[in-house]
Chain A
């Protein structure tokens, strides 16, 4: 098969799957799956930038996605003035102390000769800074968390439209990637992987426990939306008219009360579809822009340099390319895109739930997408994102169905059968592991390999 044909086939399979969900289950569900497919594709594209362009094995994707989600809260929630008044000053002083200690430590490290004295001085400065900041930080946090803990108990955000958080999420993730990149890049590739894994766990731990910032496991719900609400739509005359026109054939036969009721019913259904379509449009736009940019980048001199570095770091270094610097650049870019995707996901959910970030779902699943799509191939990454998200969503019902079919012969209510049926939910990691291993083994360049590069 030629690459073009293969792409078309893959696209057709995904489309057919979504259509199958639409006809078989419901169109609302199909659209919901489609929206998450778009976000997955964006994440997969981001990881492809890191792995496919530069060979960076980042298994801390979850952390960057969560930072994007955090941006959703910090940008869109209204500020809580009472909390700022109660603890803002204390936090500010703590921050100043930390910055002063950090600056002093950096200066010491730079200007003192390397000796035991320097190590002792550094340790003293760092400890004093931590302790001094703690003196102001702890009471400030207690004060903030005491402000209406059931409703707020945190500082709130900026009260801006949530769509801005997509940029903010990208910036936040890029900032984190900058810091991590300075520390961990330039290490052996597997050490780098472990370092990113650790970072992502720490990010999640911070989001779960720093209630003054994120409300922790109490979650932040009711985030704003970039699209209209269903209830408003159902009352909007133009929308109701549109629904009436679209469903005119089935409405014609009815009159009076029945007509009204049917119209209302259609409006409710269509409003939910309409909202999902709006999201789909927004996400599609972001995906298209990022895709276009990464394709341009891949085919530019910069992209050729990145591939040269990926394929042979030593040779590229000998040609005068600064390998670590390029790695850092591409790590920041990819992480920023993950941050954008994370902010989009939080926007779609309308809530921020730190406990919902699981490495299986947010890190390793994305890796399966990239491997299946074929590393270094943007279109492949997007299609891999679609395909794998679809499989991930459908593996549970399919597993349940399979289990029911397998256990049909067993007596009703037998403990073994119950156990098998209850375990169907855990088919997902099993299926994902199998897919990853099989593709790596038999199609190491992915299902949609990059054409001859």
Chain B
């Protein structure tokens, strides 16, 4: 009985918890960017997915260059070295978009929906640029050691029937995301600029009265959102693969996470991302083997015991989105934003 329990736990860890955590970290970084832009600029930025793709593309190009020079990080992927380049490129793209497109509507105090439409145009442009430069196909750019824990070695070491494998990229994703989130929260809570951003998001007029420069706040919000987007995109691409269209599709789970947590709430974005990621993974996971370990013979299911096929993972984030909007439109965390 006990080995069965352990096997079931390892199985769960291998197929649900580890991939779910990595995915949650990637979503959280994206959702943080969306929530930040929403908190400061007060519109839903549809271009965020393609901004992620843009940053990732720059990272990939820099990775190729570094690889051509023979520079690497040994067991870690070279992309980690190239990431700053991707971040700078994403920030440049976001600032250019703000300067050329969004600032105009902000100054005219246009309705939020006009800004959303403008972000649609920016999305088109970024999408075209990315496809133009790197093409619409699938790109793998992971190198270095692939696994930290290999399934076969794990089996040999523990003598269990189930193996646990942890990819380097999964571990890296969680670590990098944790560092980024820690820095972001420290910035928002402790620094003068961070506090001014929170003040601006809370009450624009009061913030203006106390001498906060709105252009500066907006600039920094864009820079942070773009940096997070580039990191999230590069980590997602390392973990899975880079394909521009996939990044556009990430928009839905990221928005679901941001809205679930309460839009404008950084903590909420992270909690939302964890919920969305794990719902997606658990609903699309085939529980057959897991149940076989735990249930006595006659109770064991014949089918895959999969609630939804993996092709419907969007439906999961969408259901979450709809349920939240219907039951608690303000999200889990209410009240003060940022």
Closest to B117 in A: A440
- The residues in B between 93 and 131 inclusive whose CB is less than 8 angstroms from any CB of A are 101, 104, 112-114, 116-118, 120-129, 131
Closest to A131 in B: B307
- The residues in B between 257 and 291 inclusive whose CB is less than 8 angstroms from any CB of A are 259
Total interface residues on A, CB under 8 Å, equals: 44
Cross-chain contact B124 with A189 (CB below 8 angstroms): no
Binds A, one of B171-179, B231-239, B317-325: B317-325
| A433-B121 contact, Cβ under 8 Å, with A184-B322, A194-B255, A441-B104 | yes
Contact with A along B121-157 (1 / 0, CB 8 A): 1111111110111011000000000000000000000
Residues in A with CB closer than 8 Å to B65 are: none
Residues in A with CB closer than 8 Å to B309 are: 209
Please report B residues at the A interface, Cβ cutoff 8 Å.
43-44, 46, 101, 104, 112-114, 116-118, 120-129, 131-133, 135-136, 248-249, 251-252, 255, 259, 303, 307, 309, 311-312, 314-315, 317-318, 321-322, 325-326, 329
Could you say which of A187, A193, A194, A426 contacts B128, with CB atoms under 8 Å apart?
A: A426
Interface-centre pick from B44, B104, B118 (highest chain A CB count, 10 A): B44
Cross-chain contact B113 with A55 (CB below 8 angstroms): yes
Instruction: State in angstroms the CA–CA spacing of A440 and B43 once bound together.
Output: 17
Cross-chain contact B136 with A201 (CB below 8 angstroms): no
| A198-B311 contact, Cβ under 8 Å, with A190-B112, A364-B124, A433-B124 | no
Residues in B with CB closer than 8 Å to A9 are: none
Task: Quote the shortest CB–CB distance from A53 to chain B (angstroms).
Answer: 15
| A202-B101 contact, Cβ under 8 Å, with A184-B325, A193-B116 | no
Instruction: State in angstroms the CA–CA spacing of A437 and B114 once bound together.
Output: 11
Contact with B along A195-214 (1 / 0, CB 8 A): 10111011001101100000
Residues in A with CB closer than 8 Å to B133 are: 423
Task: Quote the shortest CB–CB distance from A176 to chain B (angstroms).
Answer: 14
Cross-chain contact A198 with B317 (CB below 8 angstroms): yes
- Top 6 nearest A-B pairs (CB, nearest first) are A433-B124, A430-B128, A433-B125, A429-B128, A198-B318, A436-B121
Query: A367 near B: Cβ within 8 Å?
Result: yes
Closest to A426 in B: B131
Residues in A with CB closer than 8 Å to B113 are: 55, 57, 189-190, 193
Closest to B312 in A: A205
| A201-B252 contact, Cβ under 8 Å, with A427-B132, A437-B121 | yes
17 additional contacts (CB under 8 A) given A359-B248, A364-B123, A434-B125: A130-B307, A189-B113, A190-B44, A191-B44, A193-B44, A195-B318, A195-B322, A197-B252, A198-B314, A198-B322, A199-B318, A205-B311, A205-B314, A206-B312, A367-B117, A367-B120, A440-B114
Could you say which of A130, A209, A367, A427 contacts B312, with CB atoms under 8 Å apart?
A: A209
